[in-house]
Structure 1
Amino acid sequence: MKINLKKLGPGLLFAGAAIGVSHLVQSTRAGADFGLGLIWALLLVNLFKYPFFQFGPRYASATGKSLLDGYRKMGKGVLIAYYVLTFATMFTIQTAVTIVTAGLASSLFGDFVSIEIWTVIILFICLLLLIIGRYNLLDNLIKIIIITLTISTVLAVVMAMINNEEPISLLQILPENSVEIAFLIAFMGWMPAPLDISVWHSLWAIEKQKDIGGFSPKSALFDFNVGYFSTIILGIGFVLLGTLIMFNSNESFSNTAGVFANQLI
């Protein structure tokens, strides 16, 4: 089946938004601490969250309206509740994602400036891209980013498997103590992303309709599936990286996301 990249967009934006703390940190940390023992959790949470994430683009492509419009039809109270929840979590999520990105940037490009300065630089670049290019630029950039990330992740996993001399266990693990259970909750909560991304996805789907004019519910579903299953594959890839590189290495790993990302590099 031929895939027309021009018709893809919101689903890849979803993947780009999802592949952050949940994959780079949580999935890798799961592999580092449990090997492949939490693959069951990764697959289970993606299965249960699938219909919730799918509803955003399906609703938008069928009605031409975003989920925010749908919430408003249900009553102002529902819309206000959404805004309150968003406001209560947006700073925590944005901070976590930006700090991890800043930590990676510092490791890759050098620590000639502080993490705080890196966060400002990253946020400024993102803001500039949105102001100048808006949806179209974001749509085009994300295709390059996701394809590059997928290829590099697959290559990294292959190289790690080639260099690995230890047997890999497929035994699944159910966390027992409070620390492990807390990690499992965080792992499944972040994977593949917070549920409010479905609202963003509905907005992206509307912009895609304006862009190409023929973004039908069928096209929206296919686009979503491409992005969603990409996040699952990459999530497994990062678990494998954590398993192959860090599991049973007798090293102590930081609980801080940014520091852990640097340890992985």
Structure 2
Amino acid sequence: MKNWFKNVGPGVLVSAAFIGPGTVTVCTLAGVNFQFALLWALLLSIISCIVLQEMAARLGLVSQFGLSESIRKEIQNPILRGLAIMLVLSAIVIGNAAYEAGNITGAVLGITAVTPPLEFQIGSTFSLNIWSIVIGAIAFILLFIGNYKILERVFIALVALMSISFIITAFLTKPDFSAILEGLLIPKIGADGILTVIALVGTTVVPYNLFLHASLVSEKWKDPSKLKTARKELTAAIILGGIVSMAIVICAAAPNLTNVTSAADLAVGLNPLFGEYATWFIALGLLAAGITSSITAPLAAAYVVKGCFGWEGGLKSRKFKAVWMSILVMGVFFSSLKLKPIEIIRFAQIANGLLLPIIAIFLFWIVNKTSVMGVYKNSIFQNILGAVIIVISIFLGAKSIYSVLQNF
């Protein structure tokens, strides 16, 4: 058991990163609107996530470089390299800054589901949300310490809390397990469900996690002989994350739930059906999801910038800290003042819709290079799986961009 805990880390952080407030909200709406019918989409996304994250982990372990560093080193044409770096920086850094506000707000929703809101009025226009500042301060302290082992332990605890909270609540709803099995194994989709399917896959297979995972693995392990351990750890962590996402769908599929548009509404809605315990479990799960994502988004952005510019030093370097501090401060600002940076979020959605297939292609190309990976390059089976996932990600990216452009 002691050896098992010693090898837990990067995969748990990736799992924690994709189960943020956005995922909780999407899974809630999927359960409310479609009950168990779209669970197959989550199963598909878990498989895709494992395949792509394994490539990222293998790259980090064998090359000892992050994905952004590998892109900068392996693209020889200076114009193409510059364009690739600009695309990655704009989508990941600006996108993470926009979503950081949502992560912090999600954690605040978890707190305010069981406690009164704390606000400080500033003039007649703005009200300062004190809970946003508290969540931001927690994230700031953990990142500022700059100790990877401490971050690992905090994330293991938060992921455990989040998992227990949502899974227990799912069992409290006493679901029909035969209907769950049918939803998992028999794909069903109508015209109304396509955007929800895209959202479910998109919130699990997150572009910035590919950068984060490669960098974290290279921080934790220095020997390719640890590849088997890294694979086991990431597979177990992502499967657990997928089970948590499914548990949220199951909670939201409970009968007699009405007027549910977010996880906070779900917590309130479950109260009369299953008692105060369900409300507390959902609130704790949402709080843990918000805190974990509010730490990983700035951390991933810092790793991306570090790799793109070739900075030396790790978690404790000043430049590295300056990047995550900027992302965190913007997130706290937008969350605490209840501002909605709509245009930035729209840009982030379009950029991420384009970014996932492009980054997947970059990753696919690099892990097939003998000069980088040696004997650890992709096998034929891994290439087939990777190619299928890239085709799916291109389709989903195109649909995502189309859906966003329709709202302009």
After superposition, the C-alpha distances for 1:70-108 in whole angstroms (9 at most, x for unaligned) are 111133322332112213412232122221111112223
Structure 2 residue 101 is matched with structure 1 residue 89: no
| 2:131 partner letter | W
Residue pair 2:60, 2:215 contacting (<8 A) in 1 also = yes
Q: Give the CA deviation at 1:187.
A: 2.5
Structure 1-normalised TM-score?
Answer: 0.83
- AA aligned to 1:95 is A
* Residue number in structure 2 paired with 1:64: 64
Partner of 1:116: 129
Q: Hey, what's the Cα distance between the residues in 2 that align with 1:133 and 1:108?
A: 32
CA separation in 1, counterparts of 2:113 and 2:166?
Answer: 18
**What is the match of residue 231 of structure 1?**
241
Greater Rg, structure 1 or structure 2?
2
In the TM superposition, structure 1's runs of 4+ consecutive aligned residues that sit over 4 Å from their partners are 256-264
- Quick one: percent identity of the two aligned structures? 21
- After superposition, residues 1-80 of structure 1 pair within 5 angstroms as 4-75=4-75, 76-77=81-82, 78-80=84-86
Matched, 1:195 2:201: no
Residue 130 of structure 1: aligned partner: 143
Q: Deviation string for 1:168-187 (max 9, x for gaps)?
A: 5746541324xx43333223
The CA distance in 1 between the partners of 2:53 and 2:22, in whole Å, is 16
Letter in 2 for 1:10: P
2:394 aligns with: none
C-alpha displacement of 1:54: 1.9
* Aligned mates of 1:74, 1:140 — CA distance in 2: 34
Contact between 2:50 and 2:235, CA under 8 Å: does it hold in 1?
A: no
User: In angstroms, what is the RMSD of aligned CA positions?
Assistant: 2.9
Please report how far the alpha carbon of residue 257 of structure 1 lies from its aligned counterpart in structure 2 after TM superposition: 6.4
Q: Which one of the candidate residues 152, 157, 161 is aligned to 1:148?
A: 161
Aligned partner (choices 93, 103, 113) of residue 109 of structure 2: 103
Task: Kindly provide the CA deviation profile for residues 109-138 of structure 1, in whole angstroms up to 9, marking residues without a partner as x.
Answer: 321337733222211210111112532211
Secondary structure in 2 matching 1:216: helix
CA contact (8 A) 1:25 1:260 kept: no
Query: How big is each residue's C-alpha offset from its partner over 1:17-64, in whole Å with a ceiling of 9 and x where there is no partner?
Result: 111135422112211111101011111222233322222211111121
Paired with 1:141 and 1:215, the residues of 2 have a C-alpha distance of 27
Q: 1:140 to 1:38 in 2, by over 3 A?
A: same
2:214 pairs with 1:206 = no
- Partner of 1:196, secondary structure, is helix
Structure-1 residue corresponding to 2:354: none
Deviations 1:136-195 (A, max 9, x none): 21111111222232223332222221xx69x95746541324xx43333223211x2422
Alpha-carbon distance between aligned partners in 2 of 1:56 and 1:257, rounded to the nearest angstrom = 31
Please say which of residues 70-79 and 226-235 is displaced more in the overlay. Answer: 70-79
SS of the aligned residue for 2:12 comes to helix
Where does 1:175-194 land on structure 2 (aligned, <5 Å)? 175-177=190-192, 180-190=193-203, 192-194=204-206
2:2, 2:154 → 1: CA distance?
21
Amino acid at match of 1:108: V
**Which residue, 251, 263, 274 being the options, matches 1:241?**
251
Q: Where do 5+ consecutive residues of structure 1 fail to align?
A: none
